[in-house]
Structure 1
Amino acid sequence: MAVTDTAIDRIKEMIVAGELKPGDRLPKEAELAERLGLSRNSLREAVRALALIHVLDVRQGDGTYVTSLSPDLLLETMSFVVDLHRDDTVLDFLEVRRIIEPAAASMAAIRMPDTAIAELGRHLSQLGDDPDVDQLVANDLEFHRMIAQGSQNAVLCSLVESLSGPTQRARVWRGLTQADAISRTLTEHQDIYEAIRNRQPDIAAATSTVHVAGVEQWLRTTFAETR
């Protein structure tokens, strides 16, 4: 294992063990290097690496601190990696969405506050009966984000938001090329909303599965025809 990797693991162990907690300031560089049995150069490289993934926050002239370690902050790195995806991996992202979004809808049906559910309904009604594709996709992204928030699971919410972007182009493409895509999406959104509003977690999960699977199946068919 590279020396820098060892340094990263040592700092990670301190955080996991509770020696360093969110918001804590790291000991001075010389002191921490000696304590961990590392060179100061290796320690600096480890700190830089951990700062890049938002585990540490280096404040010039002040010191280095452990961040809040909140899921949304730590998962920002995954968002960066996701943004580098190629078009031929979009089906992989849709498969993952088909797994996690029904779970989010099911949890939202149980946990989402009444006020948030009412806001979800108002969000859907803003579209009207004849939106264009851009309006539909923008509304769709926010619709799924609101449901993920309603799950009241910060990790799940961050994952849903990270995975929505890579499939956006596929949704636009479907809206432009499939005759009933817009009306079908509106109906499916309404079904998901009604299941959440009526506190029916199993139905919310099932309707969400149908919704995401529809885009996935259309894309698989389109790719097969293209090839």
Structure 2
Amino acid sequence: MSLTDEAIARIRALIQSGKLPPGAKLPPEQQLAAELGISRSPMREAVKALAVTRVLDVRRGDGTYVTSLAPAVLLEGLGLAVELMQDNTLLELTEARRLFEPIATGLAATRATPAHLAEIRGHLDAMHAAREDVELLNKHDAAFHRAVVAATGNETLTTIIDGISSSTLRARVWRGLVEAGSADRTLAEHDAIYAALVEGDAALAQAAALMHVSTTERWLRQAHEASQAAVSAEE
């Protein structure tokens, strides 16, 4: 283990033990380095590394603080990392979405409040109004799903699914551009999800969401296979 890795491990141990709780200000660099028995240079690098991962917040002229450590903060980089993945991993991301989102939708059916349902309904109405505008339709589509998952009250699950789904938005846009009648199918699938949420039927909500995500995955898989076949034919 390098000295920087050791410094990272010791700071993390302080946080995990509760000696540095969320929002706490770290001692000055020299003092912290002395307390942990680490020289200032690797300590400085450790702080930088933990700041990149959103564990620490370095405030110029004020000091360094432990962040809230909330899932939305710690997992913020997930969406950015996903966006950097190559096109051939898009199927894997869609598959991951199929595993997570239907279960989350079923959970939302048991936890959604009237306020949650009103927000979801608002996005659904906006989707219907934008049925002729593929870009706007997909924007409200993404917002619809974010609102559904947010209704679970599970911040970790919401952050993970949002990170995965953001990268599949492009696939849904292209689907709308090249598939005739896809807007009608998309709207019908979302109507079914919303109806199940209103009924508070977890099994039906999960099934409706699974059908919707599977439709997208099936289309994407077929498009990928067609693309691969075209490449092979050219070779």
TM-score class, shorter: over 0.9
- Structural mapping, 1:143-222, within 5 Å: 143-222=144-223
What is the DSSP-based 3-state SS (H/G/I as helix, E as strand, rest coil) of the residue aligned with 1:127? helix
Deviations 1:6-54 (A, max 9, x none): 1111111111111110011111212211221211101000000101111
Structure 2 unaligned regions, length at least 5: 229-235
Deviations 1:147-179 (A, max 9, x none): 111010001111121112211111111111122
What is the CA distance between 1:108 and its match in structure 2? 0.9
The one-letter code matched in structure 2 to 1:53 is T
The one-letter code matched in structure 1 to 2:97 is R
In the alignment, the residues of structure 2 paired with residue 218 and residue 82 of structure 1 have an alpha-carbon distance, to the nearest angstrom, of 20
What is the DSSP-based 3-state SS (H/G/I as helix, E as strand, rest coil) of the residue aligned with 1:69? coil
Shifted more, 209-218 versus 129-138: the winner is: 129-138
Question: Could you list the runs of 4 or more consecutive aligned residues of structure 1 that deviate by over 2 angstroms after TM superposition?
Answer: 126-132
Aligned residue in 1 for 2:31 = 31
In the alignment, the residues of structure 2 paired with residue 220 and residue 131 of structure 1 have an alpha-carbon distance, to the nearest angstrom, of 25
CA RMSD of aligned residues (A): 1.2
What is the DSSP-based 3-state SS (H/G/I as helix, E as strand, rest coil) of the residue aligned with 1:190? helix
In the alignment, the residues of structure 1 paired with residue 134 and residue 204 of structure 2 have an alpha-carbon distance, to the nearest angstrom, of 27
Aligned residue in 2 for 1:8 = 8
What is the DSSP-based 3-state SS (H/G/I as helix, E as strand, rest coil) of the residue aligned with 1:125? helix
In the alignment, the residues of structure 1 paired with residue 67 and residue 184 of structure 2 have an alpha-carbon distance, to the nearest angstrom, of 45
In the alignment, the residues of structure 2 paired with residue 176 and residue 51 of structure 1 have an alpha-carbon distance, to the nearest angstrom, of 41
What is the CA distance between 1:132 and its match in structure 2? 2.2
Are 1:85 and 1:166, in contact at CA under 8 Å, matched by a contact in 2?
no
What is the CA distance between 1:183 and its match in structure 2? 0.8
The alignment-based identity, stated in percent, is: 44
Are 1:106 and 1:204, in contact at CA under 8 Å, matched by a contact in 2?
yes
The one-letter code matched in structure 1 to 2:11 is I
- Structural mapping, 1:48-127, within 5 Å: 48-127=48-127
Relative to the length of structure 2, the TM-score reads 0.93
What is the DSSP-based 3-state SS (H/G/I as helix, E as strand, rest coil) of the residue aligned with 1:58? strand
Q: How many residues align?
A: 227
What is the CA distance between 1:135 and its match in structure 2? 1.9
Structure 1 unaligned regions, length at least 5: none
